[in-house]
Amino acid sequence: MDPPNNSLKIHELCRIAPISASELSLPLTFFDLLWFKLHPVQRLFFYSLPHSNPSFFFESLIPKLKRSLSLALKHFLPLAGNIVWPLNSQKPVIQYTSGDGVSLVIAESSDDFNHFSGNSPREAIKFRHLVPHLDTCDSVASVSALQVTLFPNKGFCIGISTHHAVLDGKSATTFMKSWAYFCQTCSESSPLLPELQPFFDRSVVKDTNGLDVKYLNEWNWITAADGGDSNDANNEKSLKILLNTSPQAMDQLVLATFDLNRTDLEKIKKRVMTLWDKVDGEEETHTSKPSNLSTFILTSAYVFSCVAKALKGNGNNNVSFGFSADCRARLKPPLPANYFGNCVFPSMTNAEAEDFDKEDGLAIVAKKIHNKIRMLEKGVLDEAETVFSKWKSMASKGTRGIGVGGSTRFGVYGIDFGWGRPVKVEIVTIDTNGLITMAESKDGNSGVEVGLLLSKHEMDRFASSFHAGLEKLD
């Protein structure tokens, strides 16, 4: 349970059920079970209030959000359900039954809206009161939870927590867009736009090697080795999640946002391309020099370089940069673009801290990421059998893992519920020290908004490296 927060007042705790819904049961695929025990993904959408009258929030905005949520959930039934593990089943399943619904908290905060929705370093622990708690226990785990928080005379925040074993970032964003769509129409007869219609058929995901059971067994091993509750470790069907960071360490984390505009990205590309033929890339593919590099590669290479320099101050000599590749279009045959669930697979690129002290360090990591993506195009699941062994190897060597969440392609700053676009969107999965998030620039200038979660002293070193590095590229 979170500690009491005197700045937050709870007005209502309710459950919103889908309108006119039938029961549904879906299996979890190996894509889902790969993320089975990880912490829920928590996102915050900050919006300015269209009216200063306090009654508008409670008498107009909230009823409209509730009604449209019920309409949207009709199309996204898994979000209103739970993960359960039937006695006669080898695997857990997603189940929606009559009477299920999404937990919704209506709250009011006396904190500073501008501070929470800003870019400067903010204590990550304080965001805990803006994201809803996702109930999980041995026998049942909620799929999603929502919270709407009013900042009087300033704005409001929509917080969503989703179980990582049920949906990836693309699916979660599709749901938020659908909710916003129904909030603008508020009509049960309004058809959901084709690009927002989820595809639920799990039979399209082929698992000829039994990866689903293998991944479940790996999670059971990790639970036992983690030294947690002995009852959890002995209960092979426990649905409890694992925490990545101790509560004491979480108190030290800060969240900050950094912008890379189009000019910055062009400068990074120029430096990388100039040094491209002079450096080696991990798992060299011997491909010719690319004519262009994606925004993802340029952003990842620069941010990862700055993070690695920040971590070196802690004596971290080995770092691993991890990102998740969307497999929908990379599978054979490809899955529908609107496939709902997890369909991402992790890929890792290792580096030594000394690489980033070199003049060509930025090009080294850019080339490693580029080559890794090229390998994914040839076989996105080639490392599916060894992903857990690589994670264990990293842990045994003390390698610091840095992960990436979000995407500039999700279009999160276009999610308008009818009262304007968000002024800030954050991924605040606050027990993940070292998380990098990406979103398109809210200004629509083809830039990138980078969120970062680090300890306070690491963040200070990162910010110094980030700004100084851009100046050197001039």
Instruction: Give the residue numbers marked as catalytic.
Output: 164, 416
Question: Please, which residues have CB within 8 angstroms of residue 451's CB and are 6 or more apart in sequence?
Answer: 255, 256, 257, 406, 426, 427, 435, 436, 437, 438, 439
Phi, psi at residue 219, to the nearest 5°? -65, -35
What b/e readout covers 64-89, taking b as 16+ CB neighbours within 10 angstroms?
bbbbbbbbbbbbbbbbbbbbbbeeee
Strand partners, 258: 450
Strand partners, 107: 10, 149
Q: Interior CA angle at 463 toward 367 and 112, to 5°?
A: 130
Pairing between strand 318-326 and 400-406? parallel
Distance CA 163, CA 240 (A): 11
Look up residue 42 and give its two tokens: 């928590």
Distance CA 220, CA 224 (A): 6
Look-up: residue for tokens 């580029």? 370
Helix and strand numbers (H, E) in the chain are 14, 17
Give the number of other Cβ atoms within 10 Å of residue 62's Cβ: 18
Look up residue 447 and give its two tokens: 């830039």
In terms of Cβ atoms closer than 10 Å to its own Cβ (0-12, 13-18, 19+), residue 23 is exposed
Q: What are the start-end ranges of the H helices in 321-450?
A: 361-378, 387-397
Strand partners, 47: 156
